[in-house]
Amino acid sequence: MQRKIRITARDGHVCDAWRADPTGQAKGGVVVLHAVYGLTGHMGDVCARWAEMGYAAIAPALYDRQQRGVVHPYSRAGADAGIASYEALTEAQILADVAACRDALAPLRVAISGFCTGGTWAWRAASVLPFDAQVNFYGSHVPAHLELPQPAPTLMHYGDCDPIMPMAKVQSIMARHPEVDVRIYAGAGHAFCNPEQASYDAVAAEDAWARSAAFLDHHLGGTRDVPGP
């Protein structure tokens, strides 16, 4: 079950985080970066989901650098406020918190993951910090950072009805980074893995989670094969 902890970055900043650990020996670790709404209960559920699949997971409250406990509502106004919250953070601050979570999961092999804008930051973090894999859920601004190398094995999930990431943008990722495994979910929109949002698609979400588990099992030392198209 997920629980709240505190993580201290190397610059001395302390932030809240969700953490969940599997029963028995963990197969690896996952750092989870939240969407524009902040460290919602959904991020705690995500950590618990990873734990059920055998992975220790930590999701930091990145907005704690501005004000502790900030969570924006699931609305247009909430999304706009969340965009402003992310834009108020520097790259150095976000990477410091990401690195602190990765260090807290040592000596496990660790993957980076993220949702929406958190997916964009997972992409950016994976280009400069040592991660063993990346699982990216509908990263919303990845096409603006296609020049960044992705040294870790990477799996990305997008819905083909996502108004934020239309297929032309997704295809730009695929063209620039053919080494990245991009999976497309028919009929799914943005945030299709979040049951707290109207765009939730249970079928697509379960498919994405199964692929994600198989992907990490494969790349972090497990045995399951990654499902085909």
In a domain? residue 81:
yes
Give the start-end residues of each E strand in 61-153. 110-115, 133-137
> Is 94 within a domain?
yes
SS (H, E, C) 163-209: CCCCHHHHHHHHHHCCCCEEEEECCCCCCCCCCCCCCCCHHHHHHHH
Section 163-187 average pLDDT: 98
pLDDT of amino acid 224 = 38
Taking the C-alpha atoms of residue 229 and residue 220, their distance in angstroms, rounded to an integer, is 21
pLDDT computed for residue 75 by the predictor: 97
pLDDT per residue over 50-92, tens digit each? Answer: 999 999 999 999 999 999 999 999 999 999 999 999 999 999 9
Sign of CA dihedral 75, 76, 77, 81: positive
Q: Is 229 a member of any domain?
A: no
Dihedral sign, Cα of residue 91, residue 141, residue 139, residue 198: positive
Average pLDDT score, the chain: 96
pLDDT value for 6: 98
Model pLDDT, residue 1 = 87
Confidence of residue 94 (pLDDT cuts 50, 70, 90): very high
> Under 8 Å CB-to-CB from 37, ≥6 apart: which residues?
71, 72, 73, 74, 78, 79, 82
15 against 227, higher pLDDT: 15
Does position 4 have pLDDT exceeding 90, yes or no? Answer: yes
- Residue predicted with more confidence, 221 or 229: 221
For residue 194, pLDDT over 60 is answered with: yes
For residue 165, the enclosing domain spans 3-219
62 occurs within a structural domain:
yes
Residue 150 lies in a domain: yes
Instruction: With respect to residue 225, please indicate whether it lies within any of the assigned structural domains.
Output: no
Of residues 119, 125, 131, 153, the one with CA closest to residue 226: 153
Residue 227 lies in a domain: no
Residue 223 pLDDT level (bands cut at 50, 70, 90)? very low
pLDDT beyond 70 at 111 = yes
Beta-strand runs (E) in the chain: 3-8, 14-20, 28-33, 55-60, 110-115, 133-137, 154-159, 181-185
The rounded distance, in Å, linking the Cα atoms of 79 and 223 is 39
Residue 131: what pLDDT? 97
Q: How many domains does the chain have?
A: 1
Band (pLDDT 50/70/90 cuts) for residue 130 is very high
Q: Write the CA distances from 117 to 33, 151, 212, 217, integer angstroms.
A: 8, 20, 19, 25
Q: Is the pLDDT of residue 222 over 70?
A: no
Is the pLDDT score of 146 beyond 90?
yes
Asked, for residue 152, whether it belongs to a domain, the answer is yes
| CATH number of the domain bearing residue 128 | 3.40.50.1820
- Which pLDDT belongs to residue 19? 98
